[in-house]
Amino acid sequence: MLTNAIADMSDKQTQHAEEPRTPPRRRFLREAAGVAGGAGLLALGVGLYARQASALPASALRPPGALAEEDFLAACVRCGLCVRDCPYDTLELAELGDGIATGTPYFNARRIPCEMCEDIPCVVACPTGALDRGLTDIGNARMGLAVLIDQETCLNYLGLRCDVCYRVCPVIDKAITLELFHNPRSDRHAMFLPTVHSDHCTGCGKCEQACVLPGEAAIKVLPIALAKGSTAEHYRKGWEERAAHGRSLIGDQVELPVRGMEGQAYGDTRLRQGSAPQPGADEPAPYAPGGLDSGWKP
Amino acid sequence: MSETCDPVLHADPAARGRALRTVVSRPGADAVKEKGWLRAHKWLLARRLSQLGILALFLAGPWFGLWIVKGNLSSSLTLGVLPLTDVFLIAQSFAAGHLPYKEALIGGGIVLAFYLLVGGRVFCSWVCPVNMVTDAAAWLRRRLGLKGGKVPHAHTRYWLLGFVLAAAAISGTLAWEWVNPVSMFHRGLIFGFGLAWGIVLGIFLYDLFIAGRGWCGHVCPMGAAYGLLGYGALPRVSARGRSRCDDCMDCFAVCPEPQVIRPALKAVGQDHPLILDRNCTTCGRCIDVCSKDVFRITTRFDRSES
């Protein structure tokens, strides 16, 4: 018994001693699985992080000529040569924690907008094509799209003549126009509403930087994807069809007279002196919004 | 250690442990005694000069308006004519499905040719700024006598390299560049850090407490990529004076890739004294710390011994 036990023990010992010497193939597979698993997890984490964080924050604009964000992130090597060649220190490289792909160039329009250099030095400097050299006319740049985002604080919407965003626009009267509207609040003044046109706005951000409001601007340059709705391709605009074909596609419409507006062109709904119903002769009509009028004044 | 210590080392295991610990914590002490401090730090000083000099070239522009080199290690333009681009980045860009402009391709070609000639890991020891961080961690780890931790398998970096390229291909972006501490550290020094300090500090602490020489020697996929360019490197370290070796282990203690020394020094699996392993970073630290002048930098064709 005793000798048996000793033999057993020694057997176990030899077994134990030889345990680390598992067959090389099995050891290799086990090691490879461990290593690959660890490295794979790390890479997966990085990949998910990159994917989750690859949406550009609305306040960050890419330099002119930047490829679409997905392609840009494949092309930009984060070298900062565009930053170095920007004469106005507009561009900067994102730092870890900025919420923008680390090391990629962007600018904040409210801080320093793009001055739209004619020779576009940032695009020339890019060695990888993340900034596309197909862009030779800075007027064709589409860094973003200006949007008059807050009509409650914009001074022009309050009926004042600020006009600063319109005045500073490098594509004045094309990218931003002042549209004349009746001011229903005073009922005797005009409002000149700054209106952005996407076919000319380069997204340089001069308007956002110049907006006179303290702190946040009422007009902001947003990424185009955020600022533009999709075109309703299925919807045919009657006035365009008529211009193209010389007549309405569905034949002429029956024009019914509008009572009280006889003698005015079809569609002209302006009130003429004396045509409106007169309130009581001596007392002014009390202000009483009601019916369909919600009381909102632009 | 000098020969007089040898009997002690073999006689008493405790004394041997103590002695080994002193060796490991202060490798090169004998070399300083024998050769003087300057000669015992020759290659280290040359390397620091190279690393800091390259950094200074990049910083001269933003700091002093002296524009010699623009950009960073990812891609740069020297004196307005010489483009240089990181080949690891170009590989990732290819994987992500983007063909860069010819400036980046030419820059990448120049870098590729250079490191094929001198050995890819020369980038790690003579150029990469993270080397100073991990060297500092290794130094402190030796001085504090820290042991243990969990060192990842040496092949981790190759797996990671593969996964990094796969992640670029699948996501269509340079995914690794979101976190790459190497490009992040260099860019941070030149353009500003943000929270990138945290990642650099993380590497320092990882190398200090968790895995000695862990980052550069086991994990970094960029080093792995450059290591693959080291098969035909011209300058190589040779243990040509290996007959004088007194087994003091100082070279193993300072070497960032200690596994490369044994075949050459102890004639394991080869009979010539050349360190031909592509992961030898040719840092020359083994030459510095050897009091017996065993090592020397020579060419890969010089198999002579002395």
Of A138, A139, A281, A162, the residue nearest A213 (C-alpha): A162
**pLDDT for the residue numbered B14:** 56
**pLDDT for the residue numbered B32:** 87
Residues of chain A with pLDDT under 50: 1-19, 290-291
Is the minimum CB–CB distance between A124 and chain B shorter than 8 Å?
Answer: no
Partners of residue A105 in chain B, C-beta under 8 Å:
none
Of A48, A45, A56, the residue nearest A94 (C-alpha): A56
Please name the residue of chain A whose CA is at the shortest distance from the CA of residue B77: A81
- Are B83 and A127 in contact by the 8 Å Cβ rule? The answer is yes
DSSP string for A205-259: -HHHHH--SSSS-SEEEE-HHHHPPPP-TTPPPHHHHHHHHSS-TT-PPP-PPPT
State the number of CA atoms in the 13 A half-sphere of B205 facing the CB.
6
Closest-CA distance, A79 to chain B, in angstroms, reads 5
Partners of residue B70 in chain A, C-beta under 8 Å:
80-81, 84-85
A196 pairs with which residues across the strands? A176
Alpha helices for chain A (secondary structure H): 2-18, 24-52, 69-75, 81-85, 121-125, 164-168, 206-210, 224-227, 238-245
| Interface-testing mutation among A79, A83, A92, A124, with chain B (most B C-beta atoms within 10 A) | A79
- CB atoms B188 and A95 under 8 Å: yes
- Tell which phi-psi region holds residue A94, choosing left (phi > 0), alpha (psi between -120 and 50) or beta: beta
Nearest to B83 among A96, A103, A127 (CB): A127
- Return the number of other C-beta atoms located less than 10 Å from residue A144's C-beta: 27
Nearest to A77 among B74, B159, B167 (CB): B74
| Interface-testing mutation among A102, A126, A132, with chain B (most B C-beta atoms within 10 A) | A102
Taking chain B (306 residues) in consecutive chunks of 10 residues, what is each chunk's mean pLDDT?
43 53 71 89 95 93 90 91 92 92 93 94 94 93 85 86 90 86 89 84 91 90 92 92 89 90 88 90 92 91 86
- Are B127 and B73 in contact by the 8 Å Cβ rule? The answer is yes
Closest-CA distance, B163 to chain A, in angstroms, reads 6
- B268 Cα distance to chain centroid: 23
Look up residue A109 and give its two tokens.
Answer: 């329009």
For A154-166, the pLDDT digits (tens) are 999 999 999 999 9
Q: Structural domain boundaries of chain B?
A: 2-37+234-299, 39-140+151-229
Which residues, 6+ apart, have CB-to-CB distance to B168 below 8 Å? A74, B92, B93, B95, B96, B174, B175, B176
Is residue B153 classed exposed, middle or buried when 0-12, 13-18 and 19+ CB atoms within 10 A define those classes? middle
Please give the Cα distance from A159 to A297 (Å, whole number). Answer: 11
Of A41, A39, A22, A47, the residue nearest B154 (C-alpha): A39
Please give the Cα distance from A91 to A69 (Å, whole number). Answer: 16
Please give the Cα distance from A121 to B191 (Å, whole number). Answer: 19
Please name the residue of chain A whose CA is at the shortest distance from the CA of residue B73: A79
Look up residue B170 and give its two tokens.
Answer: 């699948």
The letter for the amino acid at A112 is I
Look up residue B205 and give its two tokens.
Answer: 């602490």
Please name the residue of chain A whose CA is at the shortest distance from the CA of residue B154: A35
**pLDDT for the residue numbered B5:** 43
pTM: 0.77
Residue A250 backbone dihedrals phi, psi, to 5 degrees:
-110, 25
| Interface-testing mutation among A30, A41, A46, with chain B (most B C-beta atoms within 10 A) | A46
**What is the interface size between A and B, counted as CB pairs within 8 Å?**
176
Please give the Cα distance from A91 to B280 (Å, whole number). Answer: 40
- Are A224 and A144 in contact by the 8 Å Cβ rule? The answer is yes
- CB atoms B174 and A76 under 8 Å: yes
Max CA separation in chain B (angstroms): 66
Partners of residue A125 in chain B, C-beta under 8 Å:
77
The letter for the amino acid at B297 is I
Is the minimum CB–CB distance between A51 and chain B shorter than 8 Å?
Answer: yes
Partners of residue A89 in chain B, C-beta under 8 Å:
none
Partners of residue B96 in chain A, C-beta under 8 Å:
73-75
- CB atoms A127 and B107 under 8 Å: yes
Q: Which whole-number Å values give the CA distances from A76 to A101, B178, B191, in the listed order?
A: 10, 12, 16
Please give the Cα distance from B185 to B205 (Å, whole number). Answer: 15
Is residue A53 classed exposed, middle or buried when 0-12, 13-18 and 19+ CB atoms within 10 A define those classes? middle
- CB atoms A77 and B155 under 8 Å: no
Please give the Cα distance from A176 to A166 (Å, whole number). Answer: 6
- Return the number of other C-beta atoms located less than 10 Å from residue A228's C-beta: 12
What separation, in Å, do the N-terminal and C-terminal C-alpha atoms of chain A show? 104
Q: Using only the alpha carbons of chain B, give its radius of gyration.
A: 20
- Are B195 and A121 in contact by the 8 Å Cβ rule? The answer is no
Is the minimum CB–CB distance between A35 and chain B shorter than 8 Å?
Answer: yes
